[in-house]
Amino acid sequence: MNSLRVFFVGGLISYRALFGWLTPAVYIPALILTPIFQILLFAYIGRAAGSQGDEFYVIGNAIQYASVPCIFVMSQTIADERFFQTLGPILISPAHRVPLFLGRALPVIVNALFVAAFALFAGGLILSITFSATSWLRLVPVLAVAMFSCTGLGLITGAIGLRIRETAVLSNVLVGLLLIFCGANVALASLPHWMAEIGRALPLTHAIAAARAVTNGGTLGQVQGLLGKEAALGIVYTVAGFGLIRFMERQSRLHATLERV
Amino acid sequence: MRTARLLALGWLFHFRMLSQSAFDGFLAILWPLFFATVAFFMFRSGHSVGGLAPVALGAAVMGVWTATSVSASSPLQRERRLGTLELLVAAPSNLATMLLSVCLATSTIGLYCIVATLIWARLLFGIHVPVAHPVSFVLGIVGIVVTIGSLGFLMAVAFVRSRRAWALGAVSEYPIWLVCGFLVPITLLPGWVRPISWLLGPTWGMRAIRAGAFGGDALPDVAMCLVLAAIYIGGGVLLLDTVLDSARKRATLSLT
């Protein structure tokens, strides 16, 4: 029971305390407007390049941009404990580590789901692309799985943030790599083979393909393979992220580097 | 003479400092490379007939704005956070000159981006960017650095009342890339966007650089860059004076 409380209540409190972008002055420009501008940028580059239709870029970029809340926020809600000098008290608390850290992931996933859905809606509206109600119903689980797997990657950056200072740089680099590799703007078939293979091992790639399939009339059953791979990647990244947090915690105890900034 | 010295030393000091920063230096160079790479793949897989050299050039110049948009929009917030804003305002040196030197330093970081992106395009994608008129090309680069630095100065002053100015700077990154025609011809954008692009110095800077690279008269475009830079600086100075007067009267400089 206590673990459930730590997971849900503690997770939400930590999220609200440490996610520095919750103020409208940052949230609206960073998580509402910028994804729309990214969609427009790539849709117009696509038109200039004569490569894909607008719908390809609306779906790809709406989902890819949600990696920003997933990765940045997840790393903020863990690594910023050190910045606010609360990491020590957290790590000496008797709370079980799984609900303590994974509880913070749940609000991150919900927020990223909203960011992706809003970008999809607004980007589609501006570029005159409408998704049917059936498509939306099918998109919700696809987006949820995508945000779960990407938050797993965020957990890894959060863990690394327990050791390095430049988490903002690291998060930006990961978001940039996802932009290239996850098929948001360039179909995997148009990438060199080795890049496509890397893309398939990253979060979002399978979910973006699934989202494109369901908006083209595909059913969830038809994309279950893609969703399964995305979910499996999410589990792998989450387990790796949690393992890395425990490793960093042990290392900080061994070397007395907990508060090293 | 004192103003020129302050501007030059401030520029040098901040340029060296920004060059050492992982966020303002390293990331500012790396970030546009991600977009350049995606753009190269998009144009390569599409059926555009223009070739990749204009894309490489546009992608290279994107970095100048990237380096400026976030960093230049929040220097006053940085000083406020460090507790040095009051000292700078009270100093006999002109605050606008100091601020302009910071913004020009951030846009100068963009030179790294230009070089890095052109090398990236050459080595990884085999894209060769010709330079038909080297002098015009260099003038175009100087023009765009000055006009973007000046635009950054205007933004720095305009966002002075916001504690989260970096977010406002960051949100301007994609619109400027798009509206100023770095990768997308302005003719492809809706008609109402074109007058906006004419008011933005980077539009003319991009045109000047393209003229220097592929042939054409770059001087009128460089002149437009400098005229718009003068307007941005003039507007910024007037706005800064007003803001400082207001902050002194109401004791709100620190926003606490």
Instruction: Give me the helices (H) in B134-172, please.
Output: 134-158, 165-171
Under 8 Å between Cβ of B103 and B75: yes
User: What number is the average pLDDT over the span B193-215?
Assistant: 95
* Residues in chain A, total: 261
Query: Using CA atoms, how far apart are residues A90 and A100, in angstroms rounded to an integer?
Result: 9
What would the pLDDT profile of A143-184 be if each residue is shown by its tens digit?
999 999 999 999 999 889 888 878 889 999 999 999 999 999
Q: How far apart are CA B239 and CA B250, in angstroms?
A: 16
Contact B177 A177 (CB under 8 A): no
pLDDT at B255: 61
User: Chains A, B: CB contacts under 8 A, how many?
Assistant: 102
Least confident piece of the model among A57-71, A186-200, B166-180:
B166-180
- A37–B163: do the CB atoms touch at under 8 Å? no
Does the beta-carbon distance from A37 to B37 stay under 8 Å?
A: no
Closest CA to B181 of B18, B97, B71, B65: B65
- 3-class state of residue B143 by DSSP: helix
Q: For position A123, what pLDDT does the model report?
A: 96
Q: Average pLDDT of B179-183?
A: 95
Quick one: three-class SS letters along chain A? CHHHHHHHHHHHHHHHHHCCCCCHHHHHHHHHHHHHHHHHHHHHHHHHHCCCCHHHHHHHHHHHHCHHHHHHHHHHHHHHHHHCCCHHHHHHCCCCHHHHHHCCHHHHHHHHHHHHHHHHHHHHHHCCCCCCHHHHHHHHHHHHHHHHHHHHHHHHHHHHCCCCCCHHHHHHHHHHHHHHHCCCCCCHHHCCHHHHHHHHCCCCHHHHHHHHHHHCCCCCCCCHHHHHHHHHHHHHHHHHHHHHHHHHHHHHHHHCCCCCC
Inter-chain residue contact B164 with A23, CB threshold 8 Å: yes
Q: Are B197 and B180 in contact (CB under 8 A)?
A: yes
Mean pLDDT of A200-206: 97
Q: What gap in Å lies between CA B84 and CA B135, rounded to an integer?
A: 41
Question: What is d(CA A117, CA A140) in angstroms, rounded to the nearest whole number?
Answer: 8
pLDDT at A13: 84
pLDDT digits (tens, 9 = 90+) for B109-156: 989 999 999 999 999 999 999 999 999 999 999 999 999 999 999 998
Q: Do B27 and A23 touch (CB under 8 A)?
A: no
Confidence (pLDDT) at A259:
65
Q: Which residues of B touch A (CB under 8 A)?
A: 22-23, 26-27, 30-31, 33-35, 37-39, 41-48, 162-164, 167-168, 170-171, 173-175, 177-178, 183-185, 188-189
**pLDDT single digits (tens) A212-255:** 999 999 999 999 999 999 999 999 999 999 999 899 888 888 88
Average pLDDT (B211-229) is 95
CB contact under 8 A, A29 and B167: yes
Which stretch of A94-98, A203-207, B111-115, B159-163 has the lowest confidence by average pLDDT?
Answer: B159-163
Chain A residue numbers touching B47 (CB-CB < 8 A): 50-51
Within 8 A by CB and 6+ apart from A64, the residues are A38, A178, A179, A182, A184, A185, A204, A208
Q: Nearest 5°: CA angle at A230, between A64 and A172?
A: 35
B74 Cβ contact partners less than 8 Å away, ≥ 6 residues apart: B156, B159, B165, B166, B169
User: pLDDT grade, residue A260 (50/70/90)?
Assistant: low
**3-class DSSP state of B200:** coil
Nearest chain B Cα distance for residue A162, angstroms: 18
Which residue of B29, B41, B49 to mutate against A (max A Cβ within 10 Å)?
B41
Report residue A1's pLDDT band, with 50, 70 and 90 as the boundaries: low
- Residue B161 clears pLDDT 80, i.e. is over it: no
Distances, alpha carbon A76 to alpha carbons A69, A83, A170, B101, in Å: 10, 10, 12, 32
Mean predicted confidence (pLDDT) in A115-138 = 95
pTM for the full predicted model = 0.92
Q: CA of A49 to nearest chain B CA: how many angstroms apart?
A: 5
- Residue from the list B164, B171, B183 with its beta carbon closest to the beta carbon of A45: B183
Residue A23 · residue B164 · CB < 8 Å: yes
Burial code of A24-57, b = ≥16 C-beta within 10 A, e = fewer? Answer: eebbebbbbbbbbbbbbbbbbbbbbbebbebbbb
The answer to whether A167 touches A157, Cβ cutoff 8 Å, is: yes
- Average pLDDT estimate for B102-107: 90
User: CA of B238, closest CA in chain A: separation in Å?
Assistant: 25
Task: Please enumerate residues of A whose Cβ is less than 8 A from a Cβ of B.
Answer: 21, 23, 25-26, 29-30, 33-34, 37-38, 40-42, 44-51, 166, 168-169, 172-173, 176-177, 179-180, 185-187, 190-191
Residues of A in contact with B189 (CB under 8 A): 44
- Answer yes or no: do B168 and A29 touch at CB < 8 A: yes
d(CA B231, CA A23): 33
CA angle, residues A88, A92, A94, in degrees to nearest 5: 145
**Residue A34 with chain B: CB contacts under 8 Å:** 170-171, 173-174
Q: Which residues of B touch A49 (CB under 8 A)?
A: 39, 42-43, 45-46, 48
Do the Cβ atoms of A187 and B45 come within 8 Å? yes
Of the given ranges (A56-60, B83-87, B189-193), which has the lowest mean pLDDT? B83-87
- The closest CB to that of A185, out of B31, B38, B184, belongs to B38
Residue A55 and residue A49 in contact, taking contact as beta carbons nearer than 8 Å: no
Only one residue has tokens 């401030």, namely B10
